[in-house]
Homo-oligomer: A and B are copies of this chain.
Amino acid sequence: MKNFDTVSLSFDTNNHDHGRCIHTAMKVADKLCLSRSVRLTPARRRVLELIWESHHPVGAYDVLSRLSQESGKTAPPTVYRALEFLMEQGLIHRIESLNAYVGCAHPAEEHAGLFLICTDCGCAAEVHDEAIDQAIVTKAATLGFRPEQRTLEVRGTCPDCRPNT
């Protein structure tokens, strides 16, 4: 069994202990917010939990309908404010190509991940790779471009979705 202390995963989607995964993510979030003196209020915390319920990116309106079920009528700004807060704190990422949100695997650290998104099962894995970072920085420098924020998303097929080959 792999070590999930860092909530890392890259396609163990089918057979990892996701309860533990959520639990760890929430503990990390609590600690991080405490250390930054920002408030992970019940609403924000609940949104984060809902996003962590799977490794599939979740749409804002999916979160909204879950909240509405649980807590009665809820309006879009409630969700978008929570998402905004969680993004600012680096606790979630937005997947631009899906208009959806996914829990961040390494919220405490530097922040420039690449997302591998399976078009079959829908799961998304956040990976970090020095060679990719370096290649982008180098290319940008060559052109005199100063990079600031990245959106790196690759759609394709994850190993769980093609067991053969």
Interface residues, chain A, with chain B CB atoms under 8 Å away? 10-11, 96-97, 114, 116, 118-119, 125, 127, 129, 131-132, 134-136, 138-140, 143-159, 162
Contact = CB atoms under 8 A, between A and B. Distances in A.
- Please state the number of chain copies in the assembly: 2
Contact of A131 (B116, B135, B150, B157): B135
Nearest to A158: B145
Contact of A151 (B11, B96, B146): B96
Nearest to A115: B151
A155 B159 contact: no
9 contacts: A10-B143, A96-B96, A116-B143, A125-B145, A127-B143, A136-B154, A147-B155, A151-B152, A151-B153
Contacts of A146: 156-157, 162
A136 B154 CA distance: 9
Nearest to A96: B96
A30 to B, nearest CB: 30
